[in-house]
């Protein structure tokens, strides 16, 4: 069975994945969410430049990826500036992701970034959308999905309430 590309992200109730300055301090740490169990299903992370720069600015944060493959998609990053434990993907992104999904392994976490999510969704490469809806209204910020070209149909897989955070998982239907 091919690996799935899973877009898993926290979102405010009004549809933002970060505040206007790119911050996410409004997302509570919740011990009821078993992050370790989720990360155990993943063996690769892929993210865009903005998310990469954000996580690089927080070297003491454990994203659960110490022994996992990590890819950053960017046409503007200097390859010499990319951390040694990351692989830069600067061209042929759709083919790269398609090939990555065909390799043996666990699922791939599309980590943050609405723009990369949009482009991979439009290319038919996202298999599951997993939203942790945080009970907060930001009124503005970085949207979950900026400017989708067309309609993406989803099918509900599951819903779970964890201490007021609603975790919704949807499978992406073929277009």
Confidence of residue 1 (pLDDT cuts 50, 70, 90): low
Higher pLDDT, 35 or 173: 173
Residues forming a β-bridge with 47: 72
Domain range list for the chain: 5-19+34-139
Torsion of the alpha carbons at 30, 135, 26 and 147, rounded to the nearest 10: 120
State pLDDT tens for residues 114-157: 899 999 999 999 999 999 999 999 999 999 998 888 899 999 99
pTM reported for the whole predicted model: 0.92
Confidence of residue 21 (pLDDT cuts 50, 70, 90): confident
CATH of domain 5-19+34-139: 3.40.430.10
């Amino acid at each position: 069975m091919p690996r799935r590309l899973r877009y898993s992200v926290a979102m405010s109730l009004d549809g933002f994945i970060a505040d206007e300055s790119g911050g996410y301090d409004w997302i509570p740490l919740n011990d009821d969410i078993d992050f370790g169990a989720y990360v155990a299903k993943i063996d690769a992370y892929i993210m865009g430049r903005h998310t990469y720069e954000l996580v690089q600015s927080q070297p003491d944060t454990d994203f659960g990826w110490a022994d996992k493959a990590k890819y950053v998609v960017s046409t503007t990053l200097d390859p010499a500036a990319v951390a040694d434990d990351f692989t830069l993907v600067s061209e042929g992104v759709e083919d790269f992701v398609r090939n990555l999904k065909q390799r043996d392994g666990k699922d791939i976490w599309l980590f943050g970034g609405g723009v990369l999510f949009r482009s991979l969704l439009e290319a038919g490469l996202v298999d599951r959308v997993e939203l942790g809806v945080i009970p907060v209204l930001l009124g503005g910020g970085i949207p979950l999905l900026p400017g989708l070209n067309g309609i993406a149909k989803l099918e509900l897989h599951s819903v779970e309430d964890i201490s007021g955070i609603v975790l919704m998982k949807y499978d992406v239907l073929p277009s």
